[in-house]
Structure formats: structure tokens, C-alpha cells
Amino acid sequence: MRGGKARSRKIMVVGVDPGLTATGYAVLEAATRTDDGRWQVCESGCVRSKRGQPVELRLDAIHGELDEVLARWRPAIMVLEGLYSEYGFPRTAILMGHVRGVICLAAARNEMRVVEIAPAEMKRALTGSGRAGKDQIRRAVTRMLGLKKAPRSEHVCDAMALAVVGALREGAVL
């Protein structure tokens, strides 16, 4: 744009930290160019499923609640935590695959692109170290988003961190 201020363009991103018991999510509106550099957390929370219920009911609960959040905010991009599993726990990896499947289905039904970020990559982008601890991530997210209080849930915190990294990858500026 010639001879004037550049107009800001907002980007809406949702970060998702998948889990069968608790799936954290955070919807973030970020500016790609702006005078004040403010980002806004539109909504965050945890989708919970009940232990002891059949897996199909737990997956339905995750899909249903997340689908409502996505339909309400209409983010352009979903940033999903990459799958990490230890070889000693193949059942966990299979269950996480199911959870990720219903999350990706919700994204597809809401016509958004899915970007996967590995946990170490997210940590490195926020703190400079791929081995950063939960406390370091919590402090980085709180500072970067200008939150008055740190997120209490580690699932929500991870979802916020994923949304921040995803927004920065898309050209957002802090």
C-alpha cells in the first residue's frame, strides 16, 4: 500500500493438543501486520471424555465438542501436535491415532487446512530449545500472548503454544 499505514490482516488459527482423556484447544486471532502487535485468544479449553466409556463414545464426544468450536470461530488453519509414542506403548499410539482421526475429520468438515508440528519443534520455536520443560513453555506462552495469568491446564497451554507457532509460520507478527 503506497503512502499510508499498512492495513492489518488477521489470521485465525486453532491449536490442538490431542488426548483421549483431555484434548486441549486454543483459538487465536493474530495480525500479519499491525501497529499494536496485539494477538487475541478468542477461546481456549479442554474437551474431556469419560474414562471407562467405550472408545467410540469418547471419540464422538471429542469430535462433537471440537466441531462446535471450529464452526463457531471458523479458523483457517488447525495446528495439530505431531504424534509421539514410545515403542513400549503401542496401544497408546493406536488410541492417539483414533483421536487424531476425529480431530482431522472435524477440520475437514469445517474446511480448514491441518498443519502438524512436532513437540520438539514447537518447544524450539518458543524457547530456543527442543527439550524445554512444561514450565518454560507456560512462561513463553504467557509472555508472548500477554496473558494476565498462565494457563492452568498443560493441554490448553500446549494448544496455545501450537497456535502461536502456527500463526508465526503463516506470517503473523508479534
19 occurs within a structural domain = yes
3 occurs within a structural domain = no
Residue 49 · residue 125 · CB < 8 Å: no
4 occurs within a structural domain = no
Residue by residue, pLDDT tens for the chain (174 residues) are: 444 555 567 899 999 999 999 999 999 999 876 546 679 999 999 999 999 999 999 999 999 999 999 999 999 999 999 987 676 788 888 999 999 999 999 999 999 999 999 999 999 999 999 999 999 999 999 999 999 999 999 999 999 999 999 999 998 987
Order of strands, edge to edge, in the sheet holding 10-17? 40-48, 22-31, 10-17, 77-81, 113-117
Report pLDDT for 7. 58
147 occurs within a structural domain = yes
Report pLDDT for 2. 46
Report pLDDT for 105. 98
1 occurs within a structural domain = no
114 occurs within a structural domain = yes
Number of domains in the chain: 1
* Residue in the block written with cell 513437540: 119
- Residue 120: which H helix or E strand, with range? helix 119-127
98 occurs within a structural domain = yes
Domain that holds residue 71: 10-169
The model's pTM is 0.91
CATH number reported for the structural domain that contains residue 43 in this entry: 3.30.420.10
- Strand 10-17 versus strand 77-81 pairing type: parallel
Cα–Cα distances in angstroms (integers) from residue 165 to residues 41, 60, 120, in the given order:
14, 28, 12
86 occurs within a structural domain = yes
